[in-house]
């Protein structure tokens, strides 16, 4: 029997009655763009994230892009980003015409290293864009201190951090705005694409609401050049059905992560390290091995599916060849890409399967 990396079908089956009823509710309502379902989800998501405002959007990339636009960041501005992240973080910055300034990660957490940020700041720097990678919050206190001292905006990429906490407070608005993805594989996932921002700023929330709807708050009256980036009511209804279960599902992920950490000690792998005061969402459980490709092959042969997050760092992608960054320019990002391997983890992973993953990994190394 093979062990999938993530069983989305099992997640649906666990909540089949609630999800089907939510979808039917929208179909019967006849309201298929924005409307009450979106407003209800925005209110519930803001409350869950312990923030004042949430705005539903079409996807996580749009959340990042519209957050930058709402803060008037564009051509001539620099934005400090992690070198070790999914490419969407970078794409949003270049989409608004700003300049990327990549900063290497802390090798123990894989998140942007606050100690390296200040040296990357120039007179053109406008914002810091930390990513809560793999569901583990970035070290926000020093990041926010740097931002305050240099009068910079902080935009958080929370696409993998649903329910995570930094020093007892949920990820939701440590900085100016947090950007979320509800891609199906996320901890809170829709049945298609979806995204949102959360913020404590009424002004930022209002700007993003206008930008997501063709630059309009009154039909056929366009204040700015916006875009169509509206969260679909069916997806909002699905997310509302799942949201009450998110904490319980996160607890299941934490139990699996704890079992992995205990069961994989002293087997030659670098295991995730969680600093004091951090409570990850465990979107991913990522190990490192100098023989990553061999380990992945042996696990596949043993029937254990794994994934690599991410095999090519942004600066080595053809899409960013124009930056002129050599592969060795960001050695830590390249090392992560060469060594990381994500093990199966999800709230529907049976404990017996988690035990088999541990057994298979120990045999494979």
pLDDT of residue 155: 98
- Cβ-count burial 47-80 (b if 16+ within 10 Å, e if not): ebbebebbbbbbbbbbbbbbbbbbbebeeebbbb
User: How far apart (Å, rounded) are the C-alpha atoms in residues 233 and 190?
Assistant: 11
CB-based contacts of 9, cutoff 8 Å, min separation 6:
none
- Interval 250-305: pLDDT, tens: 999 999 999 999 999 999 999 999 999 999 999 999 999 999 999 999 999 999 99
pLDDT of residue 85: 98
Q: What is the mean pLDDT of residues 317-332?
A: 96
| Cβ–Cβ < 8 Å for 143, 117 | yes
- Interval 12-62: pLDDT, tens: 999 999 999 999 999 999 999 999 999 999 999 999 999 999 999 999 999
Q: What is the mean pLDDT of residues 58-76?
A: 98
- Interval 127-162: pLDDT, tens: 999 999 999 999 999 999 999 999 999 999 999 999
Q: Which pair of structure tokens corresponds to residue 2?
A: 């093979």
Q: What is the mean pLDDT of residues 232-244?
A: 98
| Cβ–Cβ < 8 Å for 113, 106 | yes
């Amino acid at each position: 029997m093979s062990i999938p990396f993530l069983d989305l079908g099992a997640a649906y089956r666990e909540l089949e009655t609630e999800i089907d009823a939510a979808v039917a509710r929208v179909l019967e309502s006849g309201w298929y763009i924005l409307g009450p379902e979106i407003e209800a989800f925005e209110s519930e998501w803001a409350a869950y994230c312990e923030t004042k405002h949430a705005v539903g959007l079409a996807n996580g990339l749009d959340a990042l892009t519209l957050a930058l636009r709402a803060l008037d960041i564009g051509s001539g501005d620099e934005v400090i980003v992690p070198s070790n992240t999914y490419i969407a973080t970078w794409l949003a910055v270049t989409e608004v015409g700003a300049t990327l300034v990549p900063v290497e990660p802390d090798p123990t957490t894989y998140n942007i290293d606050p100690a390296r940020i200040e040296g990357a700041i120039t007179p053109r720097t406008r914002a810091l864009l930390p990513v809560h990678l793999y569901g583990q919050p970035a070290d926000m206190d020093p990041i926010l201190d740097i931002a305050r001292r240099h009068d910079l905006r902080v935009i958080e990429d929370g696409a993998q951090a649903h329910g995570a906490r930094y020093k007892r407070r949920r990820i939701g608005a440590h900085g100016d705005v947090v950007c979320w993805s509800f891609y199906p594989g996320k901890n809170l996932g829709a049945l298609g694409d979806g995204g949102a921002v959360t913020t404590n700023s009424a002004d930022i929330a209002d700007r993003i609401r206008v930008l997501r709807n063709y630059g309009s708050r009154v039909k056929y009256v366009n204040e700015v050049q916006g875009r169509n980036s509206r969260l679909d009511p069916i997806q909002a209804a699905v997310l509302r059905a799942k949201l009450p279960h998110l904490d319980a599902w996160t607890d299941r992920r934490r139990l699996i992560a704890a079992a992995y950490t205990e069961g994989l000690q002293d087997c030659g792998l670098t295991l995730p390290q969680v600093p004091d005061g951090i409570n990850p969402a465990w979107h991913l459980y990522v190990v490192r091995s100098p023989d990553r490709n061999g380990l992945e092959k042996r696990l596949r042969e043993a029937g254990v599916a794994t994934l690599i997050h991410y095999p090519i760092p942004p600066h080595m992608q053809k899409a960013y060849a124009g930056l002129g960054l050599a592969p060795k320019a960001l050695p830590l990002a390249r090392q992560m890409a060469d060594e990381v391997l994500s093990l199966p983890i999800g709230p529907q992973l049976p404990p017996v399967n988690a035990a088999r993953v541990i057994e298979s990994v120990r045999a494979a190394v």
